[in-house]
Amino acid sequence: MKLLPLMIAIPLSVAFILPLLPKKRPRMADCLAVLATLALLALAAMLIGQSGVYALGGWRPPVGIVLVLDGLSWLVLITVALVSFLVTVFSARYMEQYTARGRYYALFMLMVAGMNGAVLTGDMFNLYVFIEVAAVASYALVAFGCHEEELEASFKYAVLGSIASSFILLGIALMYCLFGTVNMAHLGQKVSASGLNRAAIFSLVLFIAGFGLKAALVPFHAWLPDAHPSAPAPISAMLSGVLIKAIGVYALIRVLFNVFGVTAQVATALMVLGTISMVVAILMALIQWDLKRLLAYSSISQIGYVMLGFGVGGAVLAAGGSPVIAALGFLGALFHLVNHAVFKSLLFLSSGALEYATGTRQLKEMGGLGKEMPVTAGASLVASLAIGGVPPLNGFFSKLIIILACVSSGHYGFALAAVLVSIFTLAVYMKVQKYAFLGKPAEGRKSVHEVPAAMRIPMTLLAVLCLGMSLMLLPGPKKRVLDPAVQVLMDRDAYIQSVMGVASALGAGQETDMKIAEN
């Protein structure tokens, strides 16, 4: 717990050391970035099972900023750390095509710092600041290639991202105006005491729109299919794999479930938004021929699943239904969130490997690559089956739990939509397999070689994780990893108590401190 701020301090310091390194030695930047993400992964792994509240600078909560580590933030933290470590290893060879690698890693580290901060913070305004740190770094990373379409995508992303940020900021301002505090737990306490008036409900709507834009739920998704494919492949993996979850989904559910407390209307909104995202985006994915664009649309669809899971859990919770069913919905959503981070980053990395080898993203220009690039093909196949929901793989279990939660809470229509979208998802990825890896090589395609080992290893590890993560549902790992996260969403008062308890404990200490100073 003492080392918790290092989760933010390490990437931040590395981000500012990297531009100072000599430009002639790009390998130094590679090493430093890999070491930093490895350190973050080790640190996050060490924090397993721990929970607590860290008061920055020793200032007590309602006034000072706190970092809150609990089951939910740990789950997102370890996902970010794992994906960013594997992505930096992949980047070491992949980014050789680009100049200015120091700058690339500096922006990458800033993005990681922003995500870790947004996940850990217990303060609304601080949340906004960290979201902006991560978002601004990602705008620059999307434009990293500096070609026309990349700049255009980045500009679109920046404009829509800024609109999202201003919604969030306006929401925070309204909340501060109404309740006089920006500490999440303190806000939650005041909301419980006085209830939601119209202005508070308006700010709730602003949060759903703002974070919904960041998470690319369907009516707010227009930027994602441009922005994610335009970035270099490792960055696409980060953006689709973890960024939209850390600063979009996670922030939204933290605010909805722990600050406001979920109501039936909010839960319905989440379910409807999730289902629309699921259905519309997968139909859009089906007609894409640009591999990365297809993956980007499928990301929106999968985020829809996550939102549906949270919505179902929230609906049961708000209606005072069985806590077991509510927990089932949350469990499915959280498990799918982590699973999607793993298989979608794998799919984007393999698309990067294909682009690295063949120089194209168009499915029609590939074909027959399975023989020439067996490792990439194998990894891509595992990820495709996982995202399509084929039984022994992780994606099957998380989708199954979400569908089970829908059925057992009586939302049959939503369950049906989830099943149908799962079939379409499988179709989309079979299309990828058929046109990229199977069949005959497209006319005019040169023969290619498998990508270097530094790119194969992260892909292989992620493919193994796609298989192995199914084991997280065994009672032992589930109790240690997933259940604490579910518990955070189920029990809003416990979150408030954990932070405000620290406030009173620290408050007593600080008063004595001040007395000593006066004497």
Partner 1 sequence: MKETSTIVKTISRCVVGFIFLYGLYIVCYGHLTPGGGFTGGVILASAFVLEMLAWGKEEALKSLPFRLAKPFDSAGALAFLVLGLLGLLLGGDFFVNVIQKAYPGKPFSLFNAGIIPLCNIAIAIKVCASLFLVILVLSVLRVAAGGGTEDDLTTQEEE
- What is the binding site for partner 1 (CB under 8 A)? 2, 5-6, 9, 12-13, 16-17, 19-20, 23, 54-58, 99-100, 146-148, 151, 517
Between 67 and 256, name the residue whose CB sits nearer to partner 1.
67
Between 1 and 319, name the residue whose CB sits nearer to partner 1.
1
- The secondary element (H helix, E strand) that includes residue 94 is helix 71-94
Minimal distance in Å, beta carbon 412 to partner 1? 50
Minimal distance in Å, beta carbon 105 to partner 1? 13
Q: Which residues contact 46 (CB under 8 A, 6 or more apart)?
A: 3
Residue in the block written with tokens 């939302």: 411
Query: Is 458 in contact with 86 (CB distance < 8 Å)?
Result: yes
DSSP H helix total and E strand total for the chain: 22, 2
Helix-helix angle 483-490:323-358, to 10 degrees: 120
| DSSP per position, 281-301 | HHHHHHT--BHHHHHHHHHHH
Minimal distance in Å, beta carbon 57 to partner 1? 4
Between 148 and 443, name the residue whose CB sits nearer to partner 1.
148
SS3 (DSSP) at 121: strand
d(CA 342, CA 465): 7
Fill in the amino acid letter for 213.
L
Q: Which of 250, 318, 307, 248 is nearest to 68 (CA)?
A: 250
Between 120 and 334, name the residue whose CB sits nearer to partner 1.
120
Minimal distance in Å, beta carbon 56 to partner 1? 5
Minimal distance in Å, beta carbon 15 to partner 1? 8
d(CA 245, CA 84): 14
Between 147 and 480, name the residue whose CB sits nearer to partner 1.
147
End-to-end CA distance of the chain: 33
Compute and round to an integer the Cα radius of gyration of the chain.
Answer: 22
Between 12 and 86, name the residue whose CB sits nearer to partner 1.
12
Between 14 and 267, name the residue whose CB sits nearer to partner 1.
14
Minimal distance in Å, beta carbon 58 to partner 1? 5
Minimal distance in Å, beta carbon 179 to partner 1? 26
Q: Which residues pair with 123 in a beta bridge?
A: 183
Minimal distance in Å, beta carbon 142 to partner 1? 15
Q: Longest C-alpha distance within the chain, in Å?
A: 86
- The secondary element (H helix, E strand) that includes residue 68 is strand 66-69
Between 100 and 178, name the residue whose CB sits nearer to partner 1.
100
Minimal distance in Å, beta carbon 512 to partner 1? 14
Residue ranges in 143-231 assigned as alpha helix (H): 148-179, 184-194, 198-215, 224-230
